[in-house]
Amino acid sequence: MNVRTPFDQLPQALVEELEVAGLDARAVYAAVVSAVEEDLPGGAEDVTSAATIPADARGAADFAAREVGVVAGLGVAALVFAHVLGEDASVSDRVADGTRVEAGDVVMRVSGKTRGLLTAERTALNFASHLSGVATATSHWVAALEGTRARVLDTRKTLPNLRMLEKYAVRCGGGVNHRFSLCDMAMVKDNHVIAAGGVVPAFLAVRASQPDLPVEVEVTDLDQLRELLDVGCERILLDNMTDDQMAEAVGIREGHATPATLEASGGLTLERARGVAETGVDFISVGALTHSVLVLDLGMDLSPHTPLIQQGARSAHASAGTPKDLR
pLDDT digits (tens, 9 = 90+) for 103-128: 999 999 999 999 999 999 999 999 99
**Residues annotated catalytic, as ranges:** 122, 157, 189, 218, 239
pLDDT profile of the chain (327 residues), mean per 10: 84 96 97 96 92 93 97 98 95 97 97 95 98 98 98 96 97 97 96 96 97 97 98 97 97 95 95 97 97 96 60 44 36
- The structural domains of the chain, with segments of one domain joined by +, span 7-134+294-302, 142-291
Instruction: Give the model's pLDDT for residue 171.
Output: 98
Strands of the sheet with 186-188, listed across from one edge: 151-153, 283-285, 261-265, 235-239, 215-219, 186-188
CATH of domain 7-134+294-302: 3.90.1170.20
Q: Measured on CA atoms in the order 138, 167, 265, 157, is the torsion positive or negative?
A: positive
CATH of domain 142-291: 3.20.20.70
Do 142-291 and 7-134+294-302 have the same topology in CATH?
Answer: no
